[in-house]
Each structure stands twice: as structure tokens, then as C-alpha cells.
Amino acid sequence: MKGFEKIENSDLMLRCVDNLYSSPFRSGVKYCIASIFTPQDDRYVKDPRAVAEKLRELLSKNGVEAHMGVEIEFFLVKEIRASIALSEQVVKIGVVETPETGGAIPVKKGYFLVEPLDSVGDIRLDIIHYMELLGYRPVKSHHEVATTGQVEVTSPALDPVLLGDYTVLFKIIARTVAELSGFKALFLPKPFYGDNGSGMHVHVSLWRSGKNIFYNPSEEYGLSKTARYFIGGVLEHGRSLSAIVSPTVNSYRRLVPGYEAPTVLAWGPGNRSTAIRVPLTRSSGSFRIEYRPPDPLVNPYLAYAAIVLAGLDGIKKKIEAPPPLMKNAYKLSESEIRELGLQRLPRSLWEAVDELESDYEYLLPVFPRELIESYIDVKREECMRLQSVPSPVEFVEYMMY
């Protein structure tokens, strides 16, 4: 496993945690979420699930619980073929629903469509059915903005550890159900040029003694002082956080203006162009913030823990959130962004890893330093390896010169 141990010292042990899940597809087969241990029976320092567990312990010591939910977006496509050879580079994706393939959904016009235009709705509902058989009840699902079979399924509210488990199991179930239906589940953040990519928006609230401490009905937008400090911390660390929540080279093809993916570290009530949206609800039970940069290729245990730790750092240091952005962030000029005291998200994974390398102290309450250093090394190598591969668009752009 990349980032774990070298081959000469690579023996590790997996130990099932409490839950064994009966496979809904094969009799007698069990799914197991496992913890990683060394041969000396110590918890492995780079076990991602251990990070989320330590966060839960840290919160519990302070009498706090994190309630988190996630909207997982992905594509259901008929075929994926990709190859890189010396004389040929090919990507072929068999899609449905577009006018070119006999469908009726134009680019960026798929939001909340229903049958019969939603040609993958049955697959989505089957995925939910099988998640329910595993004991999880997704709260909603729908067709997403992009054509070509983009869908979204929203999790129930869970703590960071259980939400990590949910995310891992969800991708297994989604891929299996898609295969059984003659499709493939594609979690790549930006597989199609000119249409929306797939995000994985993370919703967070903090609770103490059964009370949502993010909610104060007497404050503007219902945001308590605690929630504003949490927002301040996430925005303060948003550039380094990107290396964990937008963890691939492809992630940054999604984070461009005009496709409902954030590019500016700002927040706003009901504003889907900013990195943080405060949903317009006045119910204490459902009040939360939504962090929009993450995508489905994250390590969920690391991503959920990192988001909460950034917010906790804001609470600890009383980092004031900037004023809410009440305009379309995509239309801000560079000078306007500077005048407002805002920052852009990194434009590449390399840039994001640079930021993480210089700003990770807020993670150390639960992230082992060895894990962070290994993560940086793995991502640096990934950047360098993919940077050396020409892209077809470069031939289109440059071969005439």
C-alpha cells in the first residue's frame, strides 16, 4: 500500500471492528470494516480510521459530538475504456441521456429530473435499497445537474467514524449494483468536459448535551458565535485542507468557475458559489454548515476529521469568519477578491500539497505527523507522475504551431 511500510517491513494485520455486514449479493459472504495493527499488536499509526476515532475521542472529552452528513455525487455510465500507450491515448465513455445518444437531457439540465427522462433512477433506488439492507438509510436521492447519468445520494447524519464507514460501503454497493445493471459507477470528480463534475458536499454541526451549538435563533442567519468561529477556521485552513478533501489531479478540473463547484474561500447563506453554504433553515435539528470543495475520491476518514479539526482550530483561536458573500463568487475579479480579503482555492493538487506542507499544525491533535508526511510524499509522487503524461487537449491546442 502506497504510503504505508516498505517491502522489507510490510506485514500488518487487519482486525474487524464490531460490525460484520452480510453481503446482500452473495450468501455466506460478510463485509468487514477493519482496523490496522502492527505485528506487535499496536494500532498502526497510519490507519486512517484511527484518525477519525481519535477525533471522536477528542470531541467526547470536551462534551461535544459532531453530526455529519454527505451528498455523494457520481455518474452511471455504460462503458469506460482508458489506455495510455506510446502511440495511442484513448478514453471512451459510453453514456446515456444525452441528445447525441438518443436521450433528451441537454448539458447542465439534469437537476431533479424524474422518469422517464431520468433513465438511471431505478439503479439509484436499488443502491438505496441495498444500503438499507446493511443498516443505513440514505435520506434522499435525485438526478444531478449533469446529463450522462449523474446522480446524488445523501447519507443520514452520523459521527465522523460511522460516516467514513458509510462512505466506504456506499461506493462498494454503488459499483456492484451498477455492474449488475449493465452500468459502471464513476466517482471521478470531472470526467466530462463542459458539464458539471461530481462533488461530495459535507454537512457539519456540533452538539453538546443534545443541543445544536451551531444554532442561535437570535443571531443573523441563525449562526451562533461558535459556528462563525468554526467557519473562520475552515476558511483559514481551506487551502491546505484542499490536499485532503480534493485529493487528486482530476479534482482541480472540477474546481473551476461556472459548474457549481467552489473556487473562492468564502461563505454565504444559501450561496452555492462559495466554499461554505449555510442552508436556509431555522430548525435547530437540521441547522448546519455545508463544505462544498470535497469530492468522492477522498479518504473519508481523513477528510471528515480534517474538516472538523480546521473548524475546531477556529473555535479555539476565535478566528472570525469574514462577512458573508451575497453575490456570485464566480463573477468576482481578482481585485475584488483581494479587496474582500478572500483567498482562492488552490488551482492544482501540487499547489494544495504545498499549502498542506506549510499548514498542518491544526491537524496534529489527531493526525500523526508520520501520516501527514507520508500523505504529502504520496501526493507529490502522484503529481509528478501524472504531470509527465500528455493530454489529448494539448494536441488540439498546440499541434498547429
Asked whether the beta carbons of 322 and 241 are under 8 A apart, the reply is no
- Of the two residues 85 and 71, the one the predictor is more confident about is 71
Which range, of 135-144, 174-183, 312-321, 369-378, averages the lowest pLDDT? 135-144
Architecture of domain 7-388: 2-Layer Sandwich (3.30)
Average pLDDT of the chain, as a whole number: 91
Residue 1 burial by Cβ neighbours in a 10 Å radius (0-12, 13-18, 19+): exposed
Q: What is the pLDDT of residues 22-80, one digit of tens each?
A: 888 988 888 889 999 988 889 999 999 999 999 999 999 999 999 999 999 999 999 88
Of the pLDDT bands very low, low, confident and very high (cuts 50, 70, 90), residue 187 is: very high
pLDDT for 109 = 66
Top-ranked range on mean pLDDT: pick from 15-19, 39-43, 231-235: 231-235
Residue 165 burial by Cβ neighbours in a 10 Å radius (0-12, 13-18, 19+): buried
Of the pLDDT bands very low, low, confident and very high (cuts 50, 70, 90), residue 319 is: very high
pLDDT for 392 = 85
Q: Answer whether residue 172 shows pLDDT above 80.
A: yes
Q: What is the pLDDT of residues 93-120, one digit of tens each?
A: 888 877 676 666 777 666 767 777 788 8
Among 148, 140, 69, which Cα is nearest to 110's? 148
The DSSP bridge partners found for residue 200 are 72
pLDDT for 103 = 66
CA gap 294, 248 in Å, rounded = 11
Q: Answer whether residue 133 shows pLDDT above 90.
A: yes
Residue 390's identity, in one-letter code, is P
pLDDT for 87 = 83
Q: Answer whether residue 279 shows pLDDT above 70.
A: yes
Contacts of 233 (CB under 8 A, 6+ apart): 310, 311, 312, 313, 314, 315, 316, 317, 319, 362
The alpha carbon of residue 331 and the mean position of all alpha carbons in its chain are separated, in whole angstroms, by 24
Q: Answer whether residue 258 shows pLDDT above 90.
A: no
Question: What whole-number percentage of the chain has pLDDT above 70?
Answer: 97
Which range, of 313-317, 331-335, 392-396, averages the lowest pLDDT? 392-396
Top-ranked range on mean pLDDT: pick from 78-87, 186-195, 365-374: 365-374
Sequential DSSP letters for 125-155: HHHHHHHHHTT----EEEE-SSTTTEEEEEP
Q: Answer whether residue 280 shows pLDDT above 90.
A: no
pLDDT for 129 = 96
Of the pLDDT bands very low, low, confident and very high (cuts 50, 70, 90), residue 297 is: very high
CA gap 95, 169 in Å, rounded = 25
Residues 250-264, mean pLDDT to the nearest whole number: 91
Q: What is the pLDDT of residues 333-350, one digit of tens each?
A: 999 999 999 999 999 999
CA gap 382, 380 in Å, rounded = 5
